[in-house]
Structures are given as C-alpha cells and as structure tokens.
Amino acid sequence: MIKVVRTFDFPGALEIEKEVFGDGFEIIEAPSSTEDELIENCRDADAVICEYEPFTRRVIDALPKLKLIAFGTIGFNYADVDHAKSKGIAVSHISKYCIREVADYTVGMMLNLNHRISAFHSLVKEDRQWAFDAFPGMRRFDTLTIGLLGFGNIPRLVAKRLKPFGVRLIAYDPFVDVAEVKAEYDTDMKSFEAVLAEADILSLHLPVTKDTGQIINSRNIAKMKDGVMLINSARGQLVDEAAITGGVESGKIQYYAADVLSEEDPDLSTHPFMDHDNIILTPHIAFYSEEAVREASFESAMNVKYFFDGNYKGAQIVNGVHV
C-alpha cells in the first residue's frame, strides 16, 4: 500500500484523489503548516501532495520513506528541490490547471490599471468625488508596449488575449524559440534589460529560482520607464518589497498590482503595501475558478499515480529524479 499525505486542506480533493488512486493507495489529509507538523504527519509517507508548506532540508532529512513531493501548484519553490534530488526524492508540479484563469486576471488587471478603474472607484465611493480628470495621463491601450518576463504557458495565453487590442508585445525568456514566438504570438523576444526599458506595463511570469529571487529590485526598477505599471500574478518572492514601496513612493512605479506577497499568510496590519493606494492587492485568487479547483486536485493526484506507475514524463518531475 502506497501512503500519500496531503498537507493542506482543499475543497473536494479527497473524493477526487480516491477516484484517481483506486486500490493500492492510502490517502490521508493532514494539514501541516510548520516543519515540525510536516515531520510528524508525513513520517511514514511514500508521497506528499503539498502547496506552500516548508519542505526544507530538515524536513526532507526526517522523512526516510519519502519518494515524491508532489506540488498541487505551478510553483514549487517551497521545497528544497536540490536537496530532494540529492536524497533521491522526486519533485513534481502541475503546469496547466489554472493558466486560463491567471491569464484572464493578468489582462483584466492591465485594463484596470490603464483606465484607473480601481482608482476611480475609490474616488467615487470613498472620497465622494465625481471627477473624470482626477487621474490624468491615461493613454489609449493600443499605444502601449506590454512587457512579459517569462514566456511559458500563462504569458502565451496573455499574448493571445492581448492580440485583438493591438498593443505592442515584447517578452524576455532565454528558453524559447524566437522565430516561433514571433510567428505564433506576434511577440518580439528581447533582452531582460530591453523589456525593462521599453515596457509601459510589465507583467511577471517567472518561476522563483536562485537566479530570479527578488529580480525586481532597486537596481532593475531604475532601468524601467518612469511611471511603469507592474503586475505580479506569479510569486511574491520575485520582488524586493521594500524596493517596490520605494518605487511607488518616488513615482517611478505608477501602479503595482499583486496577487501574491513574499509571505503566503501576510500580516496585513503591518505590511507596508497597505499604506499605498497605488499598490493594488488581491489575496492570491488569480488561479481561482470552480473548474480550476477540481483540475488542481485531479492533476496533482495523477502526477502521484503516474510516478508510481513509472510514467515519469506524465508525472511532471522537475528535478530529474526517477525511482
């Protein structure tokens, strides 16, 4: 019997997992937010399905039976992936489950920021002002250059959704075929520095790695256009939050819209972003739809099943470990 522990609550997941696994698997729900809880609850697990729980070196070393860390998210930066590999433990993620939702969120936020919809809403409802010229400087959307950092599944859908608007699209991603991207998505691939310098709206779509952590810092913000609008629907760890605050306060960043913060469970009573009207926040909901929730549970469970069936490509292993 293969023991699988899911370390977070997720609506309806247990029924889907039981349906996928069938006989031969035992699935246990054991919400675990700390290292100690993970060690206690996953001690006998052959596999875990996780989300934002800290699978650190200490946790991994304390789980001798573990063979697979299966993320129920696109990102997998909450595990020490390299250490897992050194211990012969595979790490997988789900790559397709909410890409349409996040692409919709991103394009919607671009339109919101460019037309100042949130700002005008607050002006009317909170300040009781009815003034069309309160936020000057709005430009016609099809005159803008949209920059995408990363060009994987989500930004490709962003590009498709933006095509009818007639904007200029540029992107940075060193791992894509430049000619293919131009032909299929009408997007010009540029250097990282060029995307920063040319984008009126800059949208982040990078994974968090040693190279990309806090890649949006003071030095790189200085390379951006004055008044840039910045959107982060990827991971909060991609930005230096103090640098974002400084950029907003100086006017270098006109708007920062984020669905993610550096902490998954932030203290909103003390977070500096709460003091700035030009920082628009949503509570990590870009992924959400009823369809996406079901797909997340199904895809992560299938990764576990594929892995123990020996279908490592189907299991979406990200660290090259095959047992």
Res 10: pLDDT? 87
* Separation of alpha carbons 183 and 229, rounded Å: 27
Taking Cα atoms as reference points, which of 70, 123, 130, 117 lies closest to residue 94?
70
Phi, psi (rounded to 5 degrees) for 216: -95, 90
Domains annotated on the chain, with CATH: 2-97+290-309 (3.40.50.720), 99-281 (3.40.50.720)
Per-residue pLDDT of the chain (323 residues; tens, 9 = 90+): 999 999 999 889 999 999 999 999 999 999 999 999 999 999 999 999 999 999 999 999 999 999 999 999 998 999 999 999 999 999 999 988 899 999 999 999 999 999 999 999 999 999 999 999 999 889 999 999 999 999 999 999 999 999 999 999 999 999 999 999 999 999 999 999 999 999 999 999 999 999 999 999 999 999 999 999 999 999 999 999 999 999 999 999 999 999 999 998 999 999 999 999 999 999 999 999 999 999 999 999 999 999 999 999 999 999 999 86
* Separation of alpha carbons 274 and 278, rounded Å: 10
**Hey, what are 148's tokens?**
């995408």
Res 323: pLDDT? 65
Write out the catalytic residue numbers: 235, 264, 284
**Hey, what are 239's tokens?**
């930005």
